[in-house]
Amino acid sequence: MIARILLVTALSTAAAQADLHVLIVGGLGGEERYETRFAEEIERLERAAKESVGESGSVIVVPGAEAKQSKLDSSLATLKDRLGAEDELAVYLIGHGTATSRSYKFNIPGPDVTAVWLAERLGAIAAKRQVVVVATSSSGAAVEALEAPGRIVITATKNGRERNAAWFSKYWTDAFEDPEADTNKDERITVQEAFAFADAKVQGFFESASNLATEHARLSGDAPETFTLARLGKAAEIRGNPALRPFIEQRDAVEQRIEQLKLRKEAMDENAYFDELETLLLELATLDASIEELAAQQEQQP
């Protein structure tokens, strides 16, 4: 009964919910060891993204050998045509980067892609919430050009002078497979959780080797804890079930409202805050019960 009642509510609001779209781009490795590592990271990111975006989202992968500027341009044009304002976009650049006193460049076959070039095309995409992860050497030089309202920018280095091949991309990829990254154990990996996990792992890597760290990751942008990038365990499993999609979209919306409420806590009356939080948590629990009920019914069907 709960499932039938909430299905009507979920269907009525589903069209307004955000879909996640992911673009993964591989750059030049330069050496065989980097070519192998970057290809593996791209494959793992693609697998995690496809498990998380659901049927209405999309995952576009442009591997290193194909990552010419024209191919990347056409991929971004596809996203421009596909995404609406309520959708979310995540872009991952895996490879090497270089920087001058004036600009950052992502190294690909043919003409490199500059941060300014990428920012112009991302700015033409309607999605109000975007995250761009530049997991390369010298990537800190890209921050200023990429920053924009509603966009979270993550770079593997703090500036363009940190030129060594970055380890950040490895640990960023690990975050989508390691339960340790899910710090609040809600089977979601947010931008904040993935960044904190990868940043700590990078620091630990250099400390364990007793080496001076050659990279320091940066995060710029608002509310990274409210942007979900991946789901684990049961959360990933049910997301691939079309019959449960209306409930999942409704649940996503409630989760976002909870995170946004937490950000407003300091400015709210304490009683009003906890009253609103209780209402949202009850709504979330009811949706969880509906999802479990429908999933159980499907398992019982021959």
User: Can you tell me the distance from the alpha carbon of 87 to that of 183, in angstroms, rounded to the nearest whole number?
Assistant: 25
- Specify whether 80 is located in the same domain as 118: yes
- Specify whether 184 is located in the same domain as 242: no
Distance of CA 141 to the CA centre of its chain: 21
- Specify whether 201 is located in the same domain as 262: no
> What's the pLDDT at 272?
87
> What's the pLDDT at 236?
62
DSSP-derived 3-state class of residue 101: coil
Per-residue pLDDT band at 77 (split at 50, 70, 90):
very high
- Specify whether 62 is located in the same domain as 204: yes
DSSP-derived 3-state class of residue 262: helix
Query: Average of pLDDT values for 137-162?
Result: 97
Name the domain boundary from 231, 246, 265: 231
Q: What is Dmax (Cα atoms) for the chain? A: 65
185 HSE (CA, 13 A, CB side): 0
User: Does residue 188 or residue 220 have the better pLDDT?
Assistant: 220
- The boundaries of the domain holding residue 205 are 18-231
- Specify whether 23 is located in the same domain as 147: yes
Structure tokens at 67: 């990552």
93 phi, psi to nearest 5 deg: -110, 120
Per-residue pLDDT band at 166 (split at 50, 70, 90):
very high
Torsion of CA 63, 219, 78, 237, to 10 degrees: 80
Indicate the angle between helix axes 245-263 and 270-300, nearest 10 degrees.
160
Q: Which region, left, alpha or beta, applies to residue 249 given φ > 0 means left and ψ of -120 to 50 means alpha?
A: alpha
Query: Average of pLDDT values for 104-110?
Result: 95
User: Does residue 133 or residue 102 have the better pLDDT?
Assistant: 133
User: Can you tell me the distance from the alpha carbon of 161 to that of 289, in angstroms, rounded to the nearest whole number?
Assistant: 52
- Specify whether 54 is located in the same domain as 95: yes
Domain count along the chain: 2
Name the domain boundary from 182, 216, 231: 231
User: Does residue 247 or residue 29 have the better pLDDT?
Assistant: 29
Burial of 225 from C-beta contacts in 10 A (0-12 / 13-18 / 19+) = middle
Q: Where are the beta strands (DSSP E) in the chain?
A: 20-26, 58-62, 88-94, 97-99, 104-106, 113-114, 129-135, 151-155, 188-190, 218-220, 228-231
Residue 9 above 70 pLDDT? no
Q: What is the CATH number of the domain that holds 63?
A: 3.40.50.1460
pLDDT digits (tens, 9 = 90+) for 23-71: 999 999 989 999 999 999 999 999 999 888 866 679 999 998 889 999 9
User: Can you tell me the distance from the alpha carbon of 281 to that of 290, in angstroms, rounded to the nearest whole number?
Assistant: 14
- Specify whether 117 is located in the same domain as 204: yes
Type of residue found at 101: S
> What's the pLDDT at 10?
37
- Specify whether 110 is located in the same domain as 244: no
Residue 6 above 70 pLDDT? no
- Specify whether 218 is located in the same domain as 101: yes
User: Can you tell me the distance from the alpha carbon of 1 to that of 3, in angstroms, rounded to the nearest whole number?
Assistant: 5
- Specify whether 179 is located in the same domain as 289: no
User: Can you tell me the distance from the alpha carbon of 250 to that of 2, in angstroms, rounded to the nearest whole number?
Assistant: 14
Question: DSSP label at 87?
Answer: -
Instruction: List the single range of 53-62, 129-138, 246-255, 261-270 with lowest mean pLDDT.
Output: 246-255
Structure tokens at 257: 């409202």
Residue pointed to by tokens 């496809």: 50
Of the segments 70-74, 249-253, 283-287, which one has the largest average pLDDT value? 70-74
Q: Measured between alpha carbons, how far apart are the two ends of the chain, in Å?
A: 21
Of the segments 82-86, 184-188, 242-246, 255-259, which one has the largest average pLDDT value? 82-86
- Specify whether 169 is located in the same domain as 190: yes
- Specify whether 215 is located in the same domain as 262: no
Structure tokens at 114: 């500059």
Name the domain boundary from 205, 231, 257: 231
